[in-house]
Amino acid sequence: MFGLTTSHRFLLYGKVVDFRKGFDGLCGLVRNELARDPLSGEVFIFMNRPRTRLKLLQWQHGGFVLYYKRLEKGTFSFPISANKDSASGISYSEMVLMIEGIKVEKWIEKPRYKIL
């Protein structure tokens, strides 16, 4: 089944990615650059240099899923919490805002109960 929810962990890769890379190339970045297991079920987010294209790589039962979005106008913005030099964990809310093109100037997250 396709779908991303709040139960997933999202990691935004801060460096520029060559978008000719497919499943294997992106898995190589996850293993070598991020020192993470691409089979973990985490969602890895990659952007191109002009920030007009976005790829999300996720392992689901039986294989990889690659979500791809290309903007016809405008660019994607990094979330406030993201580190542009390395990978950053971002929340589902931040990921949705980034994909929908909503730029947040000031982010105040109210405390909520979380099960760790």
DSSP 73: S
Which pTM was predicted?
A: 0.85
List Cβ neighbours of 49 (8 Å cut-off, separation of 6 or more): 16
Q: Which residues of the chain have pLDDT under 70?
A: 1-2, 81, 83-86, 116
- Which helix H or strand E contains 76, and what residues bound it? none
Determine the pLDDT at residue 1: 47
Determine the pLDDT at residue 9: 93
Domain ranges of the chain: 10-100
